[in-house]
């Protein structure tokens, strides 16, 4: 079984998120999503519209997602890869190069983002 992991906040869930999760799942058989907790987001200066619990429930309802775990800090990635026996770490290409150090533990793949949609764009459009 080929196990995949990706990380994110997944707030204001949209078709770009669904496409990312689908493409992550295409990399293997079992997809783990590490979901940023509200506390971790606050430390990054981000505020989600939906709570961690609500975002987790939404992700768990998506057929591509097999397991949702909390992302509580930047440093947990190596431990997650080991604990969940991850074969492939996947992130959007806006993070390209930032996680190459994980290559000693698993394959690292950066996927192109869906260019016409983002949570930031949705928030901007709604506030104007």
Catalytic residue check, 44: yes
d(CA 24, CA 124): 27
Catalytic residue check, 123: no
Residue in 25, 44, 56, 77 annotated catalytic: 44
Residue 38: phi and psi, rounded to 5, are: -60, -40
Q: What share of the chain is helix, strand, coil (3-state, %, to 5)?
A: 40, 20, 35
State how far the alpha carbon of 56 is from the alpha carbons of 46, 66, 124, in Å. 17, 12, 24
Q: Which two tokens stand for residue 102?
A: 């994980």
Residue in 25, 46, 47, 77 annotated catalytic: 46
Active site residues: 44, 46
């Amino acid at each position: 079984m080929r196990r995949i992991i990706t990380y994110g906040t997944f707030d204001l869930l949209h078709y770009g998120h669904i496409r990312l999760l689908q493409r992550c799942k295409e990399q293997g058989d079992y997809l783990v999503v590490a979901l940023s907790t509200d506390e971790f987001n606050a430390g990054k200066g981000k505020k989600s519209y939906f709570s961690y619990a609500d975002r987790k429930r939404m992700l768990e309802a998506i057929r591509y997602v097999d397991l949702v775990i909390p992302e509580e800090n930047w440093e947990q990635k190596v431990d997650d890869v080991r604990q969940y026996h991850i074969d492939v770490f996947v992130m959007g290409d806006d993070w390209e190069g930032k996680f190459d150090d994980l290559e000693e533990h698993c394959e690292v793949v950066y996927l192109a983002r869906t260019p016409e949609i983002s949570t930031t764009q949705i928030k901007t459009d709604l506030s104007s």
